Amino acid sequence: MSQIAIIEDDIGLRRGVADCLEDLGHEVRCFASVEEVRPSISHWIPDVLVLDLNLPGEGGLSFLRSIREKGPWMELPVLVVSGRTYARDRIQGLEAGADDYLSKPFDPDELCARVDCLKKRAYNRSVAPIDGDGVVQTKDMMLNVRERRIWNGIRWFSLTPMEFRLLATFLRYPGRVLSVDDLLRMVWEFPSGTGNPSLVRWAVNQLRSKVEVEPSRPKRLITRPRKGYFFAGEGIATSGDGAVSAFSEPPELTSSLVAQAPVGIAALDHKGRFILWNDRAGRVLGYSKEEILGVPMQRKIHPDSSQDVLKSVAAIAETGYVAESCFDVGLLHKDGYRVNLRVLLHPFVLSGTNYVAVVFQSPALEDKSIMMYTEKREVNVM
């Protein structure tokens, strides 16, 4: 038996919706306000939430945003029902994390059909749209599966559950045109021929605002007029602690570089910005992926050793070749220390574009340690 939560302050409408759902065999719990339902969140997870926006006290939109941020209801399918009928109101509801939006007045049979579609998703909560919980990467885009955050080449964005499912679907079928009906069926689980096409348009536009560097000139999520949408990319490849598995040319590059990288490994684009960063490098230098990606290497390298390294990076990015590739450099630790490392630069090609792998190695010290220097002390970190 499915459990449905209804938050609606209109007692007549609340009872009518509950009767309709109970007639179909659902167990329904009704609440007149957000304040009434909050004590139940920690110990009860319904299969679907039917949520009104115009509520006394805390509003429906604010409540929806709060449960999408964290907590046991973060993945809960939500159907918003509201008397707000303007397009901007529906967009706000979807942006806040609603899975579907139904304007009042509505046909009770339609509401029940939409609830049935949404509850199917509740029974598949444990099935991830993308296998694993590491980093999913394309040529110039990175998706943190566990945290549902995306790096679009410029900055990180958090994705709502709906945006995450939509992006996962596009990544599964790169280059394939998916019709509006396909997306309603695959992402929202509506039966073929049902569902609101405008829901897809709003969702795609919202997703573009995060995956595209210039949403008004999309280069990843492309519209095919009267056909649908497609992802103009190379699909996905999952990597465990970083993006090393995306080093795809030559094939042996991954294993050979990792073997030479006892301290960590990273990669730079043609502008010298970090685009890849593995956990080992993070442990040595203190930066998480979110803190380092997109930052120019020039900001993290001591001026004494930066000129030759940056020249070599520029040469590799332009030509794919460098004469001298090994340097002893001082790098800036997150806590302000200088970390002396030996750096090996290595060209690699991904989808026809030159990149620079940065292999961090221990300096040639007798005890094979890495020393971090300050004015008053030196600290052995390995």
- Which tens digit of pLDDT belongs to each residue from 261-312? 567 788 887 778 887 787 788 888 899 877 888 888 888 887 776 777 878 8
Residue 261: the pLDDT is 58
Query: pTM of the entire structure?
Result: 0.46
Residue 363: the pLDDT is 58
Instruction: Determine which of 143-152, 185-194, 314-323, 327-336 has the lowest per-residue pLDDT on average.
Output: 314-323
Higher pLDDT, 204 or 263: 204
Average pLDDT estimate for 72-84: 86
Which contiguous run of DSSP H or E holds residue 62?
A: helix 60-69
Task: Identify the structural domains of the chain with CATH numbers, from first to last.
Answer: 3-122 (3.40.50.2300), 135-231 (1.10.10.10), 243-380 (3.30.450.20)
pLDDT above 50 for 364: no
pLDDT above 80 for 192: no
Residue 150: the pLDDT is 85
Residue 18: the pLDDT is 92
- Asked if residue 194 lies in contact with residue 110, where contact means CB atoms within 8 angstroms, the answer is no
- Give me the chain's average pLDDT, please: 76
Instruction: Determine which of 10-19, 101-110, 223-232, 358-367 has the lowest per-residue pLDDT on average.
Output: 358-367
- Asked if residue 79 lies in contact with residue 102, where contact means CB atoms within 8 angstroms, the answer is yes
Residue 172: the pLDDT is 79
pLDDT above 90 for 105: no
Q: How confident is the model at residue 32 (pLDDT cuts 50, 70, 90)?
A: very high
Nearest one of 356, 142, 344, 144 to 263, comparing CA atoms: 344
Tokens describing residue 357: 């792998």
Higher pLDDT, 140 or 224: 224
Q: How confident is the model at residue 254 (pLDDT cuts 50, 70, 90)?
A: very low
Instruction: Write the Ramachandran bin of 100: left for phi over 0, alpha for psi from -120 to 50, otherwise beta.
Output: beta
Higher pLDDT, 121 or 172: 172
Percent with pLDDT over 70 in the chain:
77
pLDDT above 90 for 204: yes
pLDDT above 80 for 99: yes
Residue 31: the pLDDT is 96
Question: What phi and psi values does residue 202 have, to the nearest 5 degrees?
Answer: -65, -45
CB-based burial, 159-173: b 16+ in 10 Å, e otherwise = bbbbbbbbbbbbbee
pLDDT above 50 for 248: no
Instruction: Write the Ramachandran bin of 296: left for phi over 0, alpha for psi from -120 to 50, otherwise beta.
Output: beta
Specify the residue for token string 């907590």: 71
Distance CA 278, CA 266 (A): 6
CA 318 to chain centre: 30
Distance CA 34, CA 155 (A): 34
pLDDT above 80 for 225: yes
Long-range contacts of 364-372 (CB under 8 A, 24+ apart): 370/263, 370/284, 370/339, 370/340, 370/341, 371/339, 371/340, 372/333, 372/337, 372/338, 372/339, 372/340
